[in-house]
Amino acid sequence: MKKEIIKNNGSKNLGWRTDRLNFDPEDLENVFSKHWAKENDKIQGINYGYGILQDLFCSREKFTISMFLKIKNRDRLITATVIQWLGTNVGFCWLREALNNAGYDIVKRKLKY
């Protein structure tokens, strides 16, 4: 089962606990997870055709496809799990405190729909 979750969720840039995403689509955990997965879609011409995670590991000096570090599904799963965690109550409180320590505030605005 573990290998199946790594293969399936990792390939979709989803975290370990996708069962937690079956609730309110406006919940922060759900929003963070969906946004991360979307930003890591392979779109030609954006981030050299790879998502944000892959882009973090490529060399900028002389771009060639061989300069990329191949991101494995396990790595994608782990990263997506952390991003999803940032949307939980505990993760968001940690994020808010870290940003506060850096002099930033998080301000909620009303959605326009």
26 CB burial (10 A radius; 0-12, 13-18, 19+)? exposed
Of the chain, the percentage scoring pLDDT greater than 90 comes to: 53
Q: What is the pLDDT of residues 55-87, one digit of tens each?
A: 777 666 655 555 566 788 999 999 999 999 999
Q: Are 61 and 69 in contact (CB under 8 A)?
A: no
Q: Which two tokens stand for residue 25?
A: 């689509």
* pTM for the predicted model, two decimal places: 0.81
- Domain extents in the chain: 2-101
The span from the CA of 101 to the CA of 110, in Å, is 25
Q: Are 56 and 71 in contact (CB under 8 A)?
A: no
Amino acid (1-letter code) at residue 1? M
- 17-26, 67-76, 82-91, 102-111: range with lowest mean pLDDT: 67-76
DSSP assignments along 4-34, one per residue: HHHHHHHHTT--S-GGGGSS-TTSHHHHHHH
16: confidence class by pLDDT, cuts 50, 70, 90: very high
Q: Which two tokens stand for residue 24?
A: 């309110």
Q: Are 14 and 80 in contact (CB under 8 A)?
A: yes
